[in-house]
Amino acid sequence: MRAARLIKMVLLLQSRPSMTAAELARELEVSERTVTRDAQALSEAGVPVYADRGRIGGYRLVGGYRTRLTGLARSEAEALFLSGVPGALREMGLEDAASAARLKVSAALLPSLRDASRTAAQRFHLDAPNWFRDPTTPALLPAVADAVWDDRRITARYRRGEREVARELEPYGLVLKAGVWYLCARVAGRGSFRVYRIDRFTAVEAGEERFEREEEFDLPAFWEERAEQFARSILRAEVVVRLSPEGVRRLPHAVGALSAGEALAGAGEPDDGGWLTLTLPVESEEVAHAQLTGLGPEVEVLAPEALRERFAAEAARLARLYRPRQSPRTPGAAPGPRADA
């Protein structure tokens, strides 16, 4: 543990002209007294760490000293490729490996390029979760991630409806979609790949046995195919609607690109008023009602009749709510005749 910290301290000093004890303590997550002891230990080992005294003093390496301890470990190299998604790294338990990898890369760069990671971080940030949702990290994610990196079979218990199911899985890859973690895995002894929501796992145990990964397995391509299959599979109903030109423009935002694209591809020509009649694939009439309500007067539901009647009833309620208000009586004016006079 201390050896790794001493190496990290050397790399930090190699990547910057000088660092105060407080800065080193913050980076190394130790006390300033520990920093002082570590600096002394490095000096005794032959690393030329020099301490500048005074209010603006600090630690630095003398004489352009450069360590050769910049080789990346495998876990560090893998984590480095994920360094653009810090939240995902933290949730998978890879934050320390990524930090060490970035330090080693920084130490190996020319001085003029050492601020590249900072300048890039100030210009690009990936925020994966959806708006208006508090993302939660599945407690078993680090265990699953370890098995994925190590190609180890796992025995997992997960919720399927009202019951729990146990499976022996070959974990191929992890996907973070809109703040939700998924595992792409193959059931041991079977050829098909499946997708599991990790927050539905109740127990995960990694065994000693490793599985042989199929070299042709392409995680991005597999996920894209499954995601499209899932999106199509839930579109089990249809509604017929008329849309104004503005409604056509807003349709993909209301019902999703897949549903809107299929409906518009099969539509005919607009009528004389520019309104377009089309058949829209939807998840259910209930979901269609919630989605199409957002289009307001830019959509007219033609079928099914029950959904049309629901919109008509709500339109009548809205008309009653927004009927013209009576003008307030002018102060001092004589009251009008009583209705029962």
Summarize pLDDT for 124-157 with one digit per residue, the tens. 555 666 666 666 778 899 899 889 988 999 999 9
Report CA-CA distances (Å) from 246 to 47, 273, 294, 312, 337: 70, 12, 12, 21, 48
Q: Find, among 224, 139, 136, the residue nearest to 175 by Cα.
A: 224
**Residue with more model confidence, 106 or 84:** 106
Position 265 pLDDT exceeds 70: yes
Assign 59 a pLDDT band (cuts: 50, 70, 90).
confident
Q: What pLDDT was estimated at residue 50?
A: 81
> Crossing angle for the helix pair 21-28 and 32-44, nearest 10 degrees?
100
Q: Mean pLDDT for the chain? A: 81
Q: What pLDDT was estimated at residue 336?
A: 53
pTM recorded for the entire structure? 0.54
Q: What pLDDT was estimated at residue 339?
A: 47
Position 341 pLDDT exceeds 80: no
